[in-house]
Structure 1
Amino acid sequence: MFSKAFRVKSNTAIKGSDRRKLRADVTAAFATLGTDQVSELIPGKEELNIVKLYTHKGDAVTAYTSAGNPILFELEKNLYPTVYTLWSYPDLLPTFTTWPLVLEKLVGGADLMLPGLVVPPAGLPRVQKGELCAIALVGNRAPVAIGVAAMSTAEMLAAGLKGRGFSVLHTYQDHLWQSGDKSSPPSIAPPLPDATDVSEEKVQGDMRGLALRGEEGNGEACRAHGESSLPEAPEDGSGSRGDPSQDLAEGKSLPEQMDGLLRQCFLHALKCRVRKADLPLLTSTLLGSHMFSCCPEGQQLDIKKSSYKKLSKFLQHMQQEEIVQVKELSRGVESVVAVDWKHPSITSFVIPEPSPASQTVQEGGREQPYRAPDVKALYCVPASMTLLFRESGHRKGSALEASEVRATVIDYVKKNDLVDADNKNLVKLDPVLCDCILEKNEQHTVLKLPWDNLLSRCLEKLQPAYQVTFPGQEPLVKKGKICPIDISLAQRTYNKKVTVVRNLEAYGLDPSSVASALQQRCHASTTVTPVPGAKDGLQVQIQGNQIHHLGRLLLEEFGLPRKHIQGLEKAPRPGKK
């Protein structure tokens, strides 16, 4: 796309509202980026420009530049990262590997053909047709191009790695790259494969030509020699190259095995456990309450060991296959809103027969599928405190635990010899501590502080944040303080009382599932309604004062800590005998 010079229509500084919208678009387009990473990519105050340009083919493209480098470009309302961004976040996209000789052809406007791929021992990344991918060179994980997959990984294998694999959009050394500082790719070592990822028998490689189809000026397909590893056909004749599933049936790598188990538990849960009345269903509830329960005995479902790494990425693939539809109904919380139960993948799925031992466990014991998340209080470093934390390697926006904050302050005091010689319990305040800790009216009056006062003041000056870790998922860091589950009593007509529960979603609890459990436990009617005055969020209402039953459900069955629940003291007291 940028193989030839483009024409710049305008170059303007971005507005604050557009900056916030861009940050939201980046978060939606690249689910693997955390909040801190999005803030680093789209900074809050640093210069950021919008460049309107036209390519040599007439396509209207919007590019976003930061510190003089293009970091993103938008085409037909789709957002794409540049190689400058991928060098900072090399794991942002699924990465395929090719040979160094191919790069020259890609820069000239050629697409990447499948014979040019280098197949690692762990196999090719799992992608779907139309998914955005990165392309790197052998020996260096830093991407040199981005493109759109012309077919899914399964179709690539079924085609014997022949044909066009990727439509290349942007490359290192093209004109978009030349509009930046023209830096070279960093040297990023490829990840070392686990011992389980490498089969005992070395995969034999065939010397094959690398066919590259040029976009326009190249005309004929260009070829360069390289080596591509392809799986050999079984010697016993039990499989053929035309059936890749049979070729890969033996000696599967650990990510491939976990991918298969993940898909099996997903389809099993949709076919047997999830009903239409359960929708919308929190993705965390789908995993914790349904998919974990469908895992065969003797096996453990671990998304981190799959090629997807995150549940959100796996569900994106399932959405691309049109099995489910996922939406973010409330900020940062995704839910499954629709399921195609007539999809061939669900209708053709055969439910595995449980072993006798597992049947005994299910019949004799009670399932506890939900596991409470781990919540940690964190503190973010604001701009006014960077001088204090810079010596310890922490930057603006770094999230620290209280123990890390204390260790950083103590280390700073000792390094700068600020402990009072006459009283070891006092700390002398240097200019940095004065600016970070003291109020303006204290700058010239307070010269020393006790240790506990110094540390408590430091924690107060930091910005609150928290980290939520759901079982089997990556930790999620958010700014602010996590709101506890709020239980309250409300009066309705005829002086009737109802129990209202809010903010269940923040702890991975599905309001509909909680309402159903309470209805059975309390034998009272329950409803799920939107929270009044809020743009998103749901609340559960139970007839009568049911705080006692609700507390037992949250504390004993769900295992939530009491500190994350407020309103339990409103439970009715037992009557006198």
Structure 2
Amino acid sequence: MFAKPFRVKSNTAIKGSDRRKLRADVLAAFPSLSSSQLSDLIPSKEELNVVKMFLHKGEAVTAYVLNKNPVFFEMDKTLYPTVYALWSYPDLLAAFTTWPAVLPKLVGGADLMLPGVVAPPSGLPKVLQGDLCAINLVGNRAPVAIGLVTMSTPEMLAAGMKGKGITTLHTYMDQLWAFGEKTNPPVIAHKHCDPGEIGDQMEEEEEEEEEEEVIIDAVSIENVTALLDRTASDTPDIDNLCLNVETESEGVTSATDQANDSKAHALEIVDLKEITEDTGNHQDTAEIIRTIQEQMDELLLQCFLHALKFKVKKTDLPLLTSTFLKNHMYPCCPEGRQLDIKKSSYKKLSKFLQSMQQRHIVQVKELSKGVESIAIVNWKHADLKSFTVPETATGEEMVKIDEESETLYQPPEISSYYNVSSKLIPLFEHAGLKKDATLSSGDVRSIITNYVKSNELIDDYNKNYVTINPTLCDCILEKSEYHTVTKLKWDDLFTRCLERLQQCHQVTFPGQKPIIRKGSIKPISIDVAQRASNKKVTLIKNLEVYGLDPQIVGNALQLRAQASVTMNQVPGTKDKILLQVQGNQVNHIAKLLTEEYRIPPKYIEGLNKAPKPGKKKR
């Protein structure tokens, strides 16, 4: 969450009343703290500042900084301790242990996978889904990260310790840690073993493992045989222990990480089991690696030709190469296979497109440094005309080029619901529901129908009508209707009931828990305003409601419309961003939101403000 730099809005000393409130909130969130421990974390007289910040995705976070070190941060009215606080009180949260080599992945924004959890002799800590926990390392009990557990302990064991285990929120060496004094964690021995026993335990576990990992120099293949002769690896396959690496973990200045980053360009991790499975001979390793690259090159070319011939239209050009890869090439990947450019001989998309340009299939232009677009496609090229779609090419794999790539955006599922209001509680009590219970319109109709039938309120002479009893009278009718309305049609009854319930909506992003908010969902607002000298600007807000990063949307619009884009805070809000684009760019915005991000037009307000096409001159 803090992998990228954040923007500090304010940094002020805390007031006395706010300090007392913070102490109460911390004690409520962490009742295991004693009074002396609470006084150490939130002292009465020492310097304590409140820092309000906006993260790179627009989230509003409040951090509480004690003597230059953040000790707590608050987001969505929930308090979380930082690693600085946990180093003083490592038992404040239930803790899971992982390998030291996993730490750089966590720092980069990855979540912890269950295969990366090291179970102590005493067993895993007992947690429930959504609980806050800490992450420490083998050999040191000092926490290096905190996160939310994705499943309970019994569910972890039932899953065979496979899948996503902990969603990481904050880590040692991230930007929140760097906001403090950048101290290193203390060395604290684990409770279940002595420090001297840890090395022996790791050696025993490594001896039991049958799979080995080898680092092969991709530049000098001559070293492959020497590397493969090593007897055992020091750590498990780290790539399988983490997932969901965030983009551009800027600001991490550790010399170790910088060395690893530079080394990553020259080294390729190869699973020994994949290369030499069922054989003990390493002489053919170079040939096997070439075969893997050739297979990935063929898949890359197949997806490229498939996308050009069946996905890209002439009206889409010019097309950003990153958009072409995410929205056109990845969906063409056959089911069961994974498109990974780093495993090809090209290593990068730009080099592959240069090769396609040399074959005169496409023409690529550089818009700015590092930003390229496909400008021209030779639709009559022999390779394109002769290409046919393989029968297996039906999958929609969404893969990243590298760890700094953005994942493909998927629009949320939006559903309308209703909350039981206090006035209608007597009508829903028979169904065991209380105030603020969430119901769909179908649930409401079913409950009302059961209530009417169980109380025998269907009119004897006309079954299309319902007799009004005292409960329905109080809940459904207006005061002026108490003595005049004795019956209602079924549809009228349902309509009146829904009108008196509190409307709410549920937003579900892929792979995340549903979010329920009161009221109807706010549409993305597009407005065209006039500035000085009769110049027009296009204003966009509420992108965050649909999980869209205003910064990314602004960059895309800047390239599409070739116009300047600025970001400002929406007046009267803390975490809402207003995009301002030069000129009337409603057409570009509509195409971007509806085609690229697949937002339904009913959730976009202001599409009718696009400039009207001028009359053709005769």
Q: With the length of structure 1 as denominator, give the TM-score of the two structures.
A: 0.50
Name the larger-Rg structure.
2
Q: With the length of structure 2 as denominator, give the TM-score of the two structures.
A: 0.47
